Amino acid sequence: MRGPVEEGFLAAVARFAGPVRGVGVALLSAFGVLSVPDGGVWIALAVLGLVLVGVVADFAGPRVAFVPALVRVAAVCAAHGVVGGSEQWALNVLTTTAVTLQWEWSARVTVPATALLLVVHGSAVGWSGTAVLRVVVECALARGAFVLLRRSTRRVDGLRARRAASERAEAVAVERRRQEREYLALLHDTASATFLVVAVGGADPAEVAGYARRDLELLSGSASGAPRESVVDVGAAVRAVVERSPLRVEAGLETVLVPPAVALALVRAVRESLVNVERHAGVAEAEVTVLPVGGGVEVVVRDAGRGFDVAAVSEHRRGIRGSVVERVAAVGGRAEVVSGADGTTVRLAWSRD
């Protein structure tokens, strides 16, 4: 499979080889007419006209130009055989044509085509070992240069593909490490919330014991050594985010147990929502609630600041769409953002059903 660099190289060769051949042969033929004896000028001019017509085919593409290019060499060689003149005109047109064909066609095409041109040249102008050697050497060099350049483009494509794969792997590793850090931070916040309940006192000892037992199971993976599904108190995790926010937050946070991935998505969405309030709402207060709803949870973030047109937010701004809506949707939840003159409400919901 060709890579983009190789494709670009082949496209450039196909685009420019024909025009280079056409312009080169036209210039050689213009000077070649000057070497023709006076009696053969009209024939030479007729051949020059044929050459100029063939230039149009050279600009049209390799498939269109192939046959006219061969006919043009035959015409120049035949004209030399009839009117004489410099042998270099016919030889130069032959070599220019044969060399440029090496860039457009495979060896299966160019080898017989070049052999045919040599036969035509030898029959009309005369056989010359030097001329044959020149054509063979120049064609071999042209083919070798083309092959080397094409192999170089393939190596570049291979290097670029390996680098892209390495960058993707590194990005995946960085994202995995980031998620691990966030997950550990969430576990830390959950356990810290339990310690806070113990520190301030006033809580039911049985309830505190339940919190501690649940945190221990979450940290260890299971209580008995057998794998089991872990859960996180999303209310406690959101409380840790609220307490770290520079806003004055009125919080109503109930205990709701959800899978860790769901808790992580909700916590990150709440954090992003509070950051948006801080940056854009123009107020220093917000309200956050966490409530059990059916078999799931509902998290609401409200502010009374200046609203915005949700539909008018650019897709390039990923704060709401990427950090809130898509993040919650990725764990099977849903997010709704409603904003107007009286403020903004972000409603996050997740259900086990």
pLDDT digits (tens, 9 = 90+) for 30-53: 988 888 888 888 888 998 999 999
As a whole number of angstroms, the distance between CA 90 and CA 81 comes to 10
Q: Which of 54, 153, 69 is nearest to 104 (CA)?
A: 69
Q: Phi and psi for 188 in degrees, rounded to 5?
A: -65, -45
| Confidence (pTM) | 0.53
* DSSP H stretches of helix in the chain: 4-34, 41-60, 62-83, 87-104, 107-125, 129-200, 205-220, 234-244, 260-276, 318-320, 326-329
Burial of 208 (C-beta count, 10 Å sphere; 0-12/13-18/19+): middle
- Using a pLDDT cut of 90, give the percent of the chain over it: 40
As a whole number of angstroms, the distance between CA 156 and CA 6 comes to 8
Q: Which of 12, 1, 5 is nearest to 153 (CA)?
A: 5
Least confident residue range of 215-224, 253-262, 331-340 = 215-224
User: pLDDT tens across 144-196, in order?
Assistant: 999 999 999 999 999 999 998 898 888 888 877 776 666 665 555 555 555 55
As a whole number of angstroms, the distance between CA 247 and CA 260 comes to 26
State the average pLDDT over residues 309-319.
Answer: 62
Q: Which of 243, 219, 244 is nearest to 230 (CA)?
A: 219
Q: Considering the chain, what is the average pLDDT of its residues?
A: 83
As a whole number of angstroms, the distance between CA 167 and CA 240 comes to 35
